[in-house]
Amino acid sequence: MVNTKVTLSGLTLDNPVIPASGTFGFGYEFADIYDINILGSISCKGTTKDPRFGNPTPRIAECSVGMINSVGLQNPGVDKVISEELPKLAKVYKKPIIANVSGFSIDDYAYTCEKMDAQEQVGILEVNVSCPNVHNGGMSFGTTPESAAAVTKAVKAVTKKPVYIKLSPNVTDIVSIAKACEEAGADGISLINTLLGMRIDLRTRKPVIANKMGGFSGPAIFPVAVRMVYQVYEAVNIPIIGMGGVATARDVIEMMLAGATAVQVGAANLVDPCACPNIIKDLPAVMEQYGIENLTDIIGGSH
């Protein structure tokens, strides 16, 4: 019998499969389709200090090997997430969750993380530093080691639970940013977020989404994600949650060999709502096929 359990910063997961933030709502929406308690954990929809309507439509476009989205962090704000969304999820999901937090200033991040940290069902805070810094000309917090470290320090100062920094791949040196987050106190790293992409409609000769550019995700970015997880694993001594184009149990194994302790599934959920349970069901057979008894034994196994 194979063992699919993994541990993230003291939190034991029955398996490493986690729906990625932004592709699974607040989780309870899927409870009518299958028993979501089979999931390792759930990374909930990105939450900000204040409510956000998001970007103008159209804001999602399909591509032949993925999708582009510019939803714009639509969410009801942290107070409503705590008072309405998390209680709904608690009725149908009995495991600790990952609270994904976004912000547009360091104070935003600290405020929202402190509130989410106090919620009993939150096991890990996942801090998305791919957001534009409104006080620095719109440059993403995750594009320099200094700004990513500043967010990490501010969040760690007001929280007790493990903090994982979710990094943007739209940089030239992912390793220096990951190392800066570790030095600033991060308990783990999540990577990668979406790549910046764009499509143009041949008939209108205009970009297909209103925001012109958006986050490119899906199977096409998997090799980039594996490469970045591999590089960061060699540079840091904290756990990595790997994501980016994961769609099969074999992808999970490959991502873990690169260095991930757990794996998030994103765009695949939008193609097939049962993507995660299918991966979880297939995982034991794939482990047996490759002679893997314990998943924890293969973390970073390609190094």
pLDDT digits (tens, 9 = 90+) for 271-302: 999 999 999 999 999 999 999 999 999 999 99
CATH superfamily placement of domain 6-53+73-193+217-298: Aldolase class I (3.20.20.70)
Tokens of 60: 């999602």
Tokens of 273: 């709502």
Helix (H) or strand (E) holding 265: strand 262-265
Sign of the dihedral defined by the CA atoms of residues 83, 89, 90, 92, in that order? positive
Which amino acid does the sequence have at 33? Answer: I
Tokens of 266: 């994103």
Decide if 66 contacts 206 (C-beta within 8 A).
Answer: no
Tens digits of residue pLDDT in 140-188: 999 999 999 999 999 999 999 999 999 999 999 999 999 999 999 999 9
**Residue burial 100-137, b: 16+ Cβ < 10 Å; e: rest:** bbbbbbbebbbbbbbbbbebebbbbbbbbbbbebeeee
In the predicted structure, residue 228 carries a pLDDT above the cut 80: yes
* % of the chain with per-residue pLDDT over 70: 99
Cα separation values, 111 from 32, 78, 107, 187, Å = 33, 9, 6, 19
Give the active site residues: 131
Residue 299: the pLDDT is 98
Tens digits of residue pLDDT in 101-151: 999 999 999 999 999 999 999 999 999 998 777 777 767 999 999 999 999
Q: Is 185 exposed, middle or buried (0-12, 13-18, 19+ CB in 10 A)?
A: middle
Tens digits of residue pLDDT in 42-52: 999 999 999 99
Residue 6: the pLDDT is 98
Distance of alpha carbon 299 from alpha carbon 279, whole angstroms: 18
Decide if 171 contacts 143 (C-beta within 8 A).
Answer: yes
Tens digits of residue pLDDT in 68-85: 999 999 999 999 999 999
Residue 254: the pLDDT is 98
3-state secondary structure at position 103: coil
Residue 132: the pLDDT is 73
Domain residue ranges in the chain = 6-53+73-193+217-298
Residue 133: the pLDDT is 73
